[in-house]
Structure 1
Amino acid sequence: MLSQFTLLLVAASVVTASTPHPLYERQSRTYPEPLKVGPQPLQVWIDTYNQAKAAGKIPSFAPATLSGGQPAYASGVDTGEKGVCSWTLAHCFTTNKTGAYDIENAPDGHVGISFDDGPTPASPELYKFLQSKKLAATHFFIGSNIVNNPDIFDQAVKSGGHIAVHTWAHKLMTTLTDMQVLGELGWTIQIIYDRAGVVPRYWRPPYGDIDNRVRAIAKEVFGLEHAVIWNHDTNDWCLSEGGGSSCPASDFTPSTDADLDKKLNGFYNGPKSPGLMILEHEVTSRSIGAFMRTFPTLISKGWIPQSIPDLFSQSWYLNAAGPSDTPTKGFIVGSGDVPAVNNAAVNASTSAASAAAGRSSSTSLITQTRSSAASSSAAASRTLNQGTATAAAQAAASSKTTSGAATLSSSIFFPVSLIILASFRLLN
């Protein structure tokens, strides 16, 4: 049964640019309108794409269409490993055959600590908690939310968070054209680099929606080597900031804080192989609160919590090995000029940072088996609608929306008034 919801969000506010990374001058740059789907890519990205396409590195099959909230390919298209390799439709993910691969599981006994959809007004509470535990997490940021919440983004960087890509407008990537995919990834990477000086190596496709065409564009144009999926889904985004749940009642969606706590504690109390890669969000104080409340269980059960690259002793960024490493300057996003970060130096960099921070670790092992295929299907069925609603709600909550192109440069203020009308459906 389809339920139709219409959300009218009205926000009038100011976006302020804050202090950039000390090693990098603030670049005056005009960014796409927040939440614009598949914004126009820069020419340098198009040139790199054309070179990769001509070299046969990017598949030519057509994008999926949107059907009933799910991506759908033309009749006869193999969605599995021998075809387009769709994670949404066939739970297909790539292995380490070409140097780029999807990540779905954490190592045995480990928990990959990551949060989607930031930065938001709720995020600082999470950053403070992570710092108090001397723990680095991976933050899959939406580019539009960086425009809307630049100071909170800076706080994430300064607090030691690992910054990764979650696209510009949070849409099903396999339904977008090649040029739209370029814009979604490129502008998110660009604003991260402009503000923090680092170039992401990891990304998470919204809803886990990825296929070989999208994988190839991400890798060949932007050097995004690892798409990070998950093996457990909290559906924590369902819990509304003001109370209640925005999702239909089901076995997979929490209706209360207690439901969400129970789900997380259940993961932590399960077996330790494979390790946990849990989908969580920093969208409300309720989603963040559940992580904080259940963190003691994670520790008491002997799990080792780490950011995504630290799980595998890999470099954090394309131009920096680890959090204490000085990023390489002069990088041109999407130029194909990817610096070779020495992963042999990663262990020293991350170990030094870990020792200085005294990050939690444990030698005992435990984890939860992956959720059922039905659970994965339920998570995928959120589709575009949850992303549109989430992004719109964040814009209203932050009171920092912009109209038209958004420009961030030092000491520039943007008084704006924006009315967002977001119509979305939830599938039951």
Structure 2
Amino acid sequence: MPRAGALAVTAVLGLLGVTLSAAPAAAASKKVVSITFDDGPSLYTPQVLKVLAQYGVHATFFEVGQNVAAHPSLTSLVYRRGNSVQNHSWSHPDLRHLSAAQFQYQVSATDRQIQAHTGHRPCCLRPPYGAVDATVRDRAAALGKKIALWTVDPRDWSRPGTAAIRDRVLGHVRPGSVVLLHDGGGDRSQTVAALGGILKALKARGYTFATWAR
């Protein structure tokens, strides 16, 4: 359940692999958005993938290592469908409160699971709850990880209703936004139901979609 998170637009575009050949002000005008999903894989992941495929959109999935271990075929499916799979820790703790050894386990064990089922080692870490401090950043960097947060949080995990999720996303998206949604961690039927409307509206507004590097 997220607390907070924000990235400057130009930093977001850079993490997404969007080339910033213009000045920052111009880069901020690029109509690029990233759709991200946390806490999976779960039984809702195939439903999310179906909607993404319907609209020809790829997303970034920040997966929990123990869920990858429980549903390895879903992680493989996410990756085969052209999406990015990144690290969201092993068991979803607040990384600020861990020892160095515990931190390394949370990240490295998840890396191993994801790499085993995608052939790729994640380059990004999304700390659970968006809980970041200088120690988390330093430890992540030492493990070769970029911190990946978000800029738009509709709090879909609280199940506020399909319309609320859709309207909160569409009301706050700007060029360079990173949208936080969930495909795991509980009942995500409202998120699945809202996703098509979100993608349809963003496409109608002229947005394109980017993922973190695969």
TM class, shorter-chain normalised? 0.7 to 0.9
Instruction: Indicate the residue corresponding to 2:164 in structure 1.
Output: 259
Give the CA deviation at 1:120. Answer: 0.6
Give the CA deviation at 1:258. Answer: 2.0
Give the CA deviation at 1:174. Answer: 0.7
CA distance in 2, matches of 1:164, 1:128: 20
User: 2:7–2:149: 8 Å Cα contact kept in structure 1?
Assistant: no
CA distance in 2, matches of 1:214, 1:285: 32
Amino acid at match of 2:103: V
Amino acid at match of 2:164: D
Give the CA deviation at 1:267. Answer: 2.6
Q: What TM-score do you get using the length of structure 2 for normalisation?
A: 0.81
Amino acid at match of 1:236: D
Q: What TM-score do you get using the length of structure 1 for normalisation?
A: 0.42
Out of 215, 223, 230, the residue aligned to residue 144 of structure 2 is 223
SS in 2 for 1:171: coil
1:293 matched to 2:197: yes
CA distance in 1, matches of 2:125, 2:47: 23
SS in 2 for 1:233: coil
- Sequence identity percentage: 27
Instruction: Indicate the residue corresponding to 1:394 in structure 2.
Output: none
Amino acid at match of 1:267: H
Instruction: Indicate the residue corresponding to 1:313 in structure 2.
Output: none
Amino acid at match of 1:282: D
1:276 matched to 2:174: no
Give structure 2 stretches of 5+ with no counterpart. Answer: 18-26
Amino acid at match of 1:289: A
Instruction: Indicate the residue corresponding to 1:377 in structure 2.
Output: none
Amino acid at match of 1:233: D
Q: Relative to structure 1, is the Cα distance of residues 92 and 262 closer, same or farther in structure 2, using a 3 angstrom cutoff?
A: closer
CA distance in 1, matches of 2:158, 2:162: 10
Out of 35, 55, 69, the residue aligned to residue 147 of structure 1 is 69
Give the CA deviation at 1:190. Answer: 0.8
Give the CA deviation at 1:92. Answer: 9.3
Give the CA deviation at 1:156. Answer: 0.9
User: 1:142–1:166: 8 Å Cα contact kept in structure 2?
Assistant: yes
Amino acid at match of 2:183: E
Instruction: Indicate the residue corresponding to 2:86 in structure 1.
Output: 164
1:114 matched to 2:36: yes
Q: Relative to structure 1, is the Cα distance of residues 167 and 107 closer, same or farther in structure 2, using a 3 angstrom cutoff?
A: farther
User: 2:55–2:199: 8 Å Cα contact kept in structure 1?
Assistant: no
User: 1:113–1:308: 8 Å Cα contact kept in structure 2?
Assistant: no
Question: What number of residue pairs does the alignment pair up?
Answer: 194
Give structure 1 stretches of 5+ with no counterpart. Answer: 1-86, 240-253, 310-315, 317-428
Matches within 5 A, 1:35-114: 107-108=28-29, 109-114=31-36
Q: Relative to structure 1, is the Cα distance of residues 141 and 158 closer, same or farther in structure 2, using a 3 angstrom cutoff?
A: same
SS in 1 for 2:140: helix
User: 1:114–1:308: 8 Å Cα contact kept in structure 2?
Assistant: no
CA distance in 2, matches of 1:211, 1:299: 35
Amino acid at match of 1:145: N
Q: Relative to structure 1, is the Cα distance of residues 146 and 107 closer, same or farther in structure 2, using a 3 angstrom cutoff?
A: farther
Q: Which entry has the higher C-alpha Rg, 1 or 2?
A: 1
SS in 2 for 1:265: helix
Instruction: Indicate the residue corresponding to 1:238 in structure 2.
Output: 158
User: 1:138–1:307: 8 Å Cα contact kept in structure 2?
Assistant: yes
Amino acid at match of 1:150: P
Instruction: Indicate the residue corresponding to 2:22 in structure 1.
Output: none
Describe the superposition over 1:25-67 as per-residue Cα deviations: whole angstroms up to 9, x where unpaired. Answer: xxxxxxxxxxxxxxxxxxxxxxxxxxxxxxxxxxxxxxxxxxx
SS in 2 for 1:111: strand
Matches within 5 A, 1:276-425: 276-283=177-184, 284-309=188-213, 316=214
Give the CA deviation at 1:129. Answer: 2.1
Q: Relative to structure 1, is the Cα distance of residues 263 and 307 closer, same or farther in structure 2, using a 3 angstrom cutoff?
A: same
Quote the RMSD (CA, aligned, Å): 2.6
Structure with bigger strand share is 1
Q: Relative to structure 1, is the Cα distance of residues 107 and 143 closer, same or farther in structure 2, using a 3 angstrom cutoff?
A: farther
User: 1:162–1:307: 8 Å Cα contact kept in structure 2?
Assistant: yes
Instruction: Indicate the residue corresponding to 1:138 in structure 2.
Output: 60
CA distance in 2, matches of 1:139, 1:207: 15
